[in-house]
């Protein structure tokens, strides 16, 4: 008889959690499973800088649940920080690497939804996975519309949790990579003089040197010189590369 997936039950987690099998981990798509003889551990998949797969923040007013989540996520190779309230989380210093937030929906004082709104207002785009022990459809819809990555109803399986964490961290890594590309584009464009920036923007629209010269009231030869300096300063080898760089810089 096949064994039903282990479910994480609020208040009974410490006795429930068992080592996850290597095959179950790989089937669930978790990249950090490492088989070690008859047991399995989870060494978070190293990134280019040698760090673990990411940091997971957990906010829940149930201390027993927090201890169990801390143990499970550390076993899975993640760096973990737990908090018993939204206020405690907001007051804490947080690292600048890939991270996600596991957030209880219902908490005394500042609720999970309230915290999500405060983070959005302060432009902290940390991916959020909501956790709830109650059937709260409307709140779940509201959280997802506000940008939550996932919404897990307690009890949930280890596989469901780790899959949601992996998804949230991937989203954060993608966002950080996109931000880095945009910042690089902005830094390159900042090298240009005001006139070179004008030429750059017009080149990006597809205009020829003659047309740009007419637009700016300058000699075509002058525009050709500006254009050469623009390409050199931006370190691009073609108009197509220049267009991509300008488009990146314009992204919100």
| pLDDT tens, position by position, 88-136 | 999 998 877 899 999 998 888 898 889 999 999 988 889 999 998 765 6
pLDDT over threshold 60, residue 6: no
Query: For the segment 32-86, what is each residue's pLDDT rounded down to a tens digit?
Result: 333 322 222 333 443 333 344 799 999 999 999 999 999 999 999 999 999 999 9
In which band, very low, low, confident or very high, does the pLDDT at 17 lie, cut at 50, 70 and 90? Answer: very low
**So what CATH class is 191-250?**
mainly alpha
Split at pLDDT 50, 70, 90, the class of 16 is very low
DSSP string, 58-77: EE-S-HHHHHHHHHHHHHTT
Average of per-residue pLDDT across 204-226: 97
Band of pLDDT at residue 137, cut at 50, 70 and 90: low
Is the pLDDT at 170 greater than 50, yes or no? yes
Q: What percent of the chain has pLDDT over 70?
A: 77
Sign of CA dihedral 73, 75, 79, 80: positive
The pLDDT score that the predictor gives to residue 60 is: 95
For the entire predicted model, the pTM comes to 0.70
Task: Quickly tell me which residue has 């690497």 as its tokens.
Answer: 97
Instruction: Delimit the domains of the chain by residue range.
Output: 7-176, 191-250
**Of residues 15 and 139, more confidently modeled:** 139
Is residue 122 within 8 A of residue 86, CB to CB? The reply is: no
SS3 of 145-209: HCCCCEEEECCEEHHHHHHHHHHHHHHHHHHHHHHHHHHHHHHHHCCCCHHHHHHHHHHHCCCCH
User: Higher pLDDT residue, 249 or 95?
Assistant: 249
Domain 7-176 sits in CATH 3.40.50.2300: yes
Region 241-252: mean pLDDT is: 94
| pLDDT confidence tier of residue 142, bands split at 50, 70 and 90 | confident
- For residue 4, what pLDDT is reported? 44
pLDDT in tens, 178-195: 999 999 999 999 999 999
Asked if 189 and 198 count as a contact pair (C-beta separation under 8 A), the reply is: no
In this prediction, residue 28 carries a pLDDT of 36
């Amino acid at each position: 008889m096949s064994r039903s997936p282990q479910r994480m039950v609020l208040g009974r987690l410490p006795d429930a959690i068992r080592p996850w099998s290597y095959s179950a981990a790989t089937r669930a798509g978790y990249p950090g499973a490492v088989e070690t003889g008859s047991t399995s551990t989870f060494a978070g998949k190293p990134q280019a800088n040698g760090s673990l797969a990411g940091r997971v923040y957990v906010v829940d007013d149930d201390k027993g649940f927090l201890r169990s989540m801390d143990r499970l996520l550390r076993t899975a190779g993640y760096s973990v920080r737990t908090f018993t309230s939204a206020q405690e989380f907001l007051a804490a210093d947080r690292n600048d690497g890939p991270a996600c937030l596991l957030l209880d929906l219902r908490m005394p004082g500042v609720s999970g939804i309230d915290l999500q709104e405060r983070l959005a207002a302060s432009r902290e785009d940390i991916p959020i996975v909501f956790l709830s022990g109650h059937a709260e459809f409307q709140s779940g819809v509201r959280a997802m519309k506000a940008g939550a990555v996932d919404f897990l109803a307690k009890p949930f399986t280890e596989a469901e949790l780790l899959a949601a964490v992996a998804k949230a961290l991937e989203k954060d890594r993608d966002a950080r990579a996109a931000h880095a590309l945009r910042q690089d584009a902005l830094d390159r464009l900042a090298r240009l003089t005001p006139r070179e920036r004008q030429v750059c923007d017009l080149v990006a629209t597809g205009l020829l040197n003659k047309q740009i010269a007419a637009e700016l009231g300058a000699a075509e030869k002058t525009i050709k010189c500006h254009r050469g300096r623009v390409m050199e300063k931006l370190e691009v080898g073609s108009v197509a590369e220049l267009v991509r760089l300008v488009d990146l810089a314009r992204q919100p």
